A and B are shown apart, each in its own frame.
Chain A
Amino acid sequence: MHKIILIIKREYLTRVRKKSFLVMTILGPLLMAAIVIVPIFMATRGNEMKTVEVIDQTGIFFEKFKDTDNIKFHYLVSDIASAKSGFRKTGDYALLFIPKTEVSIPTNAILYADGSVSINIQSYIRNVMTKQVEDMKLEAKLKDLQTDKKNPLNVEDILRSVKTTIDVNTIKITDEGKEEKSYTEINMVLGLFAGIMIYFFIFMFGSQVMRGVIEEKSNRIIEVIISSVKPFQLMMGKIVGVGMVGLTQFLLWVVLTFAIVTVVTSTFTGKVAGRQTAEQSIVQNAAKYNPDNLPLPDAVSGKKVQDEGVNKVFEALNSVNFPVMIGAFVFFFIFGYLMYGSLFAAIGGAVDSESDTQQFMLPITVPLILSMVMSQFFIQDPTGQVAFWFSVFPLTSPVAMMIRIPFGVPYWQVALSMSLLILTFLGTTWMAAKIYRTGILMYGKKVNYKELWKWLRY
């Protein structure tokens, strides 16, 4: 056990210290961030005029939505049902509906649209509404204070009571006039993202395992090492060590991508909506009423409103069963890698150089690539026969199941898929260990499948 840790440590450290690791760690998030940011950027640049129809049953927001360079607000005076049926004919971009609430203060609004509504417009609407409601609350609060002179002014209390969150829900109106709260896109993105991550991880780090084995063979250190440790320990140490390099890289990517996206999008949306954060305006207003010129807490001026783009995503994410999603991702990520990693290690052990790997790589890469190619079928029909069999067959299940999971998969299918994967992992590891053990001591021999079959039976 002690020795397998030594091996893992070596495999891990030598790879993490490489320049290529650093380069990948930086390039990856830039690429991923670009995928997220570019559409937002494009959306903010689009100068096509969009008309948003507004039905305000509360009457609070009349004339409060100011037209901007690319958004025009058109106030309707009709009931929501007829507005919705009329909406499709007008060809307008979206229909904003602010329903009357029991209590006087509105907290939510609904955006009806053909497709998805740009994050920009949503955040603009939310900003205007939030500011309006907060101003109202503040005014009321300050009036109270003026009549009740005994209570000293406490800025933090006021801020807390004034703080408002407005929900803007997007509802898609389909051609048939049906409404659906459509989260399919998010499901698809989530599933595909998880699937692609696993696919990518297996390929990239699986072949690193293979190259590592070939390296040890070709620089002839292998015999020195296996006179100190069992070949199985060396193989597992390498697979686990490389896997941990992959996890490290993956975690760094997630953290860095998140950081980049947050920074960039907040500067974008902040600039475009030209918003003043609610706190800042409150602080300014409050200062007017602050008789003793009390120093304001620093924290107030530095606060930022939660990012709207993230809000929308979170909202949609509520429809996904997250514990299952994350649990499944971790499971398929790890076991998919371990299963394929052992196969890659076996190939590395069987050949002398990377150019000899072709014939053995084929049966491994075909299922993986196929599960990616077939992904559109899984998305179109997540509960269909094709999706079912691909997500149960162990060589394709890590990718296929992850694509299906956000759409909701019966637990028995997940359990079946997982147990088959574990069984296959045990089988491939046993097989790989046999091939590896024999192969690493063979030099200069062209190995074919018949030969491998013989090794399995030693």
Chain B
Amino acid sequence: MELFSALNISKQFSGHRALDKVNISIPEGSIFGLLGPNGAGKTTFIRIINQIIAPDEGQLFFNGRELNPNDIYSIGYLPEERGLYKKMTVGEQSMYLAQLKGLNKHEARKRLLFWFEKFEMRSWWNKKVEELSKGMQQKVQFLITIIHEPKLLIFDEPFSGFDPINASMLRDEIIAQRENGATVIFSTHNMASVEELCDHIALINNAKVVLDGPVRSIKRNYRTNTFTIAYNSYEGSLETILPSEYQITAESVDHDLRMASIRIPEGAGPNQLISALLPNVSLHSFSELIPSMNDIFIRVVTEKNSEPVLQV
């Protein structure tokens, strides 16, 4: 079941095309990574979801029907370019923004106090925003984003500006939000956090979706049939041991252990590699080399023009 889907979305700005027939579906309850190099069109897409700007073409669906203006109450958005009124107090400002998201005064106060208590921010209530550190401000912003318990949460580079402790707290909170039934869209350059959190991704490059699907199957698709081994050699080198069509892509030595990455031809399996190795080496470890999201990202973006859209 999809919570949100975009069908053939295009957006033209005076100088360039920001989005070109973009199709993205976001499964309910997923943490969805929206990836892409700078200027690819991610922010434009996010602004279209938030109805800040309207697409020139295409359709948007939310919760099984067409997106309508009231859906902004079901969306929480933490933009990349985010800030607060510096001269306003934290409490007053949080109340204001919570009410703009459709909460009544009473409800807004109740929920804010709950979260301020939980995040140990109670003493900040009457402070002006300019008195808070950047990390503290980010916490306030995060809290305001989730205060109306939206179905869809959109975070644009949420971890920038957080120290490791607060970042891990934020990560736990994002996961907790998902456990509570929220769907999360996550736009970032930080591939490690994508690897850790996302179960679906879409990669946008030059206004087009170039890669899209569950993280696991994308990784499987980008396998290169390469295995890494750690071994002790009796004698001779791997080249002499292995058949010639087996390609050694990397080798190294770590104390008494040797390491190597071996790419085997299509059709061959790991067992064949192992049986070729076993008579000649003592094998300490054997694993398939799964490409990291980082590798996939770089590969897809640098090969951008040659490759057709890969649908998984």
Interface-centre pick from A224, A454, A458 (highest chain B CB count, 10 A): A224
A225: B residues at CB distance < 8 A? 97, 100
Asked if A227 is an interface residue, CB under 8 A from chain B, the answer is yes
Q: How far is the CB of A15 from chain B (nearest CB, A)?
A: 10
Q: Are B50 and A220 in contact (CB under 8 A)?
A: no
Given A14-B88, A441-B52: A223 touches B79 (CB 8 Å cut-off)? yes
Asked if B83 is an interface residue, CB under 8 A from chain A, the answer is yes
Given A3-B100, A6-B100, A228-B101: A223 touches B52 (CB 8 Å cut-off)? yes
Residues facing A in B13-44 (CB within 8 A) are: 14
Asked if A100 is an interface residue, CB under 8 A from chain B, the answer is no
Q: Are A228 and B97 in contact (CB under 8 A)?
A: yes
Q: Are A443 and B81 in contact (CB under 8 A)?
A: yes
Q: Are A229 and B83 in contact (CB under 8 A)?
A: no
Give how many A residues have a beta carbon under 8 Å from the other chain's beta carbons.
Answer: 21
Contact flags A219-233 to B (C-beta < 8 A → 1, else 0): 111011111110000
Tell me the complex Cα distance, A220–B83, Å.
Answer: 5
Tell me the complex Cα distance, A224–B137, Å.
Answer: 14
A226: B residues at CB distance < 8 A? 52
Nearest to B87 among chain A residues (CB) is A14
Tell me the complex Cα distance, A83–B157, Å.
Answer: 92
Asked if B82 is an interface residue, CB under 8 A from chain A, the answer is yes
Q: Are A224 and B82 in contact (CB under 8 A)?
A: yes
Q: How far is the CB of A370 from chain B (nearest CB, A)?
A: 34
Asked if B96 is an interface residue, CB under 8 A from chain A, the answer is yes
Residues facing A in B83-104 (CB within 8 A) are: 83-88, 96-97, 99-101
A443: B residues at CB distance < 8 A? 81
Given A224-B144, A227-B77, A228-B100: A219 touches B85 (CB 8 Å cut-off)? yes
Q: Are A219 and B83 in contact (CB under 8 A)?
A: yes
Asked if A10 is an interface residue, CB under 8 A from chain B, the answer is yes
Asked if B75 is an interface residue, CB under 8 A from chain A, the answer is yes
Nearest to B130 among chain A residues (CB) is A219
Q: How far is the CB of A291 from chain B (nearest CB, A)?
A: 69
Tell me the complex Cα distance, A458–B87, Å.
Answer: 34
Contact flags B230-264 to A (C-beta < 8 A → 1, else 0): 00000000000000000000000000000000000
Residues facing B in A193-223 (CB within 8 A) are: 215-216, 219-221, 223
Tell me the complex Cα distance, A227–B99, Å.
Answer: 13
B97: A residues at CB distance < 8 A? 224-225, 228
Contact flags A1-23 to B (C-beta < 8 A → 1, else 0): 00100110010001000000000
Q: How far is the CB of A22 from chain B (nearest CB, A)?
A: 15
Tell me the complex Cα distance, A454–B75, Å.
Answer: 31
Tell me the complex Cα distance, A228–B150, Å.
Answer: 12
B171: A residues at CB distance < 8 A? none
Q: Are B50 and A227 in contact (CB under 8 A)?
A: yes
Tell me the complex Cα distance, A228–B77, Å.
Answer: 9
Q: How far is the CB of B78 from chain A (nearest CB, A)?
A: 8
Q: Are A227 and B79 in contact (CB under 8 A)?
A: yes
B144: A residues at CB distance < 8 A? 224
A224: B residues at CB distance < 8 A? 77-79, 82-83, 97, 141, 144
The DSSP consensus for interface residues of chain B is: loop
Nearest to A455 among chain B residues (CB) is B14
Tell me the complex Cα distance, A3–B104, Å.
Answer: 11
B52: A residues at CB distance < 8 A? 223, 226-227, 441
Tell me the complex Cα distance, A454–B81, Å.
Answer: 24
Q: How far is the CB of A222 from chain B (nearest CB, A)?
A: 8
Nearest to B53 among chain A residues (CB) is A441
Q: How far is the CB of B114 from chain A (nearest CB, A)?
A: 21
Interface-centre pick from B52, B97, B101 (highest chain A CB count, 10 A): B52
Tell me the complex Cα distance, A215–B50, Å.
Answer: 22
B14: A residues at CB distance < 8 A? 454, 458
Given A14-B88, A228-B101: A223 touches B82 (CB 8 Å cut-off)? yes
Q: How far is the CB of A452 from chain B (nearest CB, A)?
A: 12
B77: A residues at CB distance < 8 A? 223-224, 227
Tell me the complex Cα distance, A356–B22, Å.
Answer: 36
Contact flags A323-358 to B (C-beta < 8 A → 1, else 0): 000000000000000000000000000000000000
Q: How far is the CB of A50 from chain B (nearest CB, A)?
A: 57
Residues facing A in B60-77 (CB within 8 A) are: 72, 75, 77
Q: Are B81 and A220 in contact (CB under 8 A)?
A: yes
Asked if B47 is an interface residue, CB under 8 A from chain A, the answer is yes
A10: B residues at CB distance < 8 A? 96
Nearest to A458 among chain B residues (CB) is B14
Nearest to A454 among chain B residues (CB) is B14
Interface-centre pick from A224, A227, A229, A443 (highest chain B CB count, 10 A): A227
Tell me the complex Cα distance, A227–B47, Å.
Answer: 8
Q: Are B79 and A6 in contact (CB under 8 A)?
A: no
Q: Are A221 and B83 in contact (CB under 8 A)?
A: yes
A215: B residues at CB distance < 8 A? 85
Given A3-B100, A441-B47, A454-B14: A227 touches B85 (CB 8 Å cut-off)? no
Contact flags B119-155 to A (C-beta < 8 A → 1, else 0): 0000000000000000000000100100000000000
Tell me the complex Cα distance, A229–B79, Å.
Answer: 15
Interface-centre pick from B72, B83, B101 (highest chain A CB count, 10 A): B83
Interface-centre pick from A223, A225, A441 (highest chain B CB count, 10 A): A223
Nearest to B104 among chain A residues (CB) is A2
A441: B residues at CB distance < 8 A? 47, 52-53
Tell me the complex Cα distance, A6–B84, Å.
Answer: 17
Tell me the complex Cα distance, A443–B78, Å.
Answer: 18
Nearest to B88 among chain A residues (CB) is A14
Q: Are A219 and B86 in contact (CB under 8 A)?
A: yes
Q: Are B82 and A227 in contact (CB under 8 A)?
A: no
B83: A residues at CB distance < 8 A? 219-221, 224
A220: B residues at CB distance < 8 A? 79, 81-83
B101: A residues at CB distance < 8 A? 228
- A–B complex contacts, Cβ < 8 Å, 25 sampled: A6-B99, A215-B85, A216-B85, A220-B79, A220-B82, A221-B83, A221-B84, A221-B85, A223-B52, A223-B79, A224-B82, A224-B83, A225-B97, A226-B52, A227-B50, A227-B51, A227-B72, A227-B75, A227-B77, A228-B72, A228-B97, A228-B100, A441-B52, A454-B14, A458-B14
* 8 new A-B contacts at CB < 8 Å, known A224-B83, A227-B50: A6-B99, A14-B87, A224-B78, A224-B97, A224-B141, A225-B100, A227-B75, A228-B97
The 9 closest A-B pairs by CB, nearest first: A220-B83, A228-B100, A219-B83, A223-B79, A227-B77, A227-B50, A220-B81, A221-B83, A454-B14
Chain A residues near B (Cβ < 8 Å): 3, 6-7, 10, 14, 215-216, 219-221, 223-229, 441, 443, 454, 458
Chain B residues near A (Cβ < 8 Å): 14, 47, 50-53, 72, 75, 77-79, 81-88, 96-97, 99-101, 141, 144
